[in-house]
Amino acid sequence: MPAWSTANIPSQTGRVAVITGATSGIGYETALALSEAGARVIITSRNGMKAAEVVANIRKAHPAAEISFEPIDLASLSSVAAGAERISRSVPRIDLLINNAGVMAIPTPFVTAERFEMQFGVNHLGHFALTMHLLPKVLSSSAARVVTLSSLAHRSGRINFDDLQSEKRYSSWGAYCQSKLANLMFSMELERRARSENWPLISNAAHPGFARTGLQSTGPRMGRGGRPAPMERLGTWLGPLLSQSAAAGALPTLYAATSPDAVGGVLYGPNGFYEMKGSPHQAKIAQRALDQATWRRLWDVSEQLTSVTIARPIAA
């Protein structure tokens, strides 16, 4: 695939995009690029002050931008439900849903409002519930896309159905890898269901490679009083050689969301060494992530845990 950049994004005028976690990093760059391309962008975050700054900055860069903020805390299913209801009332349809927000490598166990392990709860269950709540508006579009952010870390992940919430044994990295594998499997199962029902929907996934964002510090500093974690020091040492900017890291997401050549049921990521940086291309998916029985079981368990489901029946 030739080098691809934001200059290749087709006009998004008239399209409505919802992006989670868009107050920094990959999400911010995604919101900025889609606003420049003409989309109406709704960013979600639990940090209203930071979101207001982002909205102001994007409007300053693109005075004609249609951008707004909706408060949603993915660590609270009631917040997800309320935010999704407000968004649904405010738009005729959703053309792009980008499940971007996430936390990574929290050193000690933290839980969501519903007592889910924080990484699995925010990264997977929060986005699962949000997607299900917004799906009627997504299906109101004639050509919708749902892009879910995974990670290279999915390759080390395993879905431990006997201990999804890491109550028996907690590993900061293990919990993160499980959540990113869950993100990827969710995106592929949504695509499978969309095809079985002939929905006008493409579901795919993206990963940013090794992008320099706040993800490498926010999670690892939780419970450490704001002190830098070993992962940050390693990133500082390796970063100049192996990493890329947040803007470059957002390109696989933007490709998955906007390119006429992007397809469903795949993962997009950088094309460089170990997919850490480079131009978007179809990325490698770990073999265990292709197990459709696990996709379906994870979906069923996610419905049970969140008490959110699709109203219409889905073919098996």
Three-point CA angle 30, 33, 36, nearest 5°: 145
Please, are residues 315 and 192 in contact by the beta-carbon 8 Å criterion?
no
- Angle made by CA atoms 215, 98, 77, in degrees to the nearest 5: 80
Indicate the Cα dihedral angle 221, 224, 226, 227, nearest 10°. -90
Residues carrying an active site annotation: 176
Answer positive or negative: Cα dihedral of 243, 249, 53, 86. negative
User: 207 is written with which tokens?
Assistant: 């990963």
- H or E segment at 16? strand 16-20
Strand ranges across the sheet with 267-270: 66-71, 40-45, 16-20, 96-99, 144-149, 201-206, 267-270, 280-282
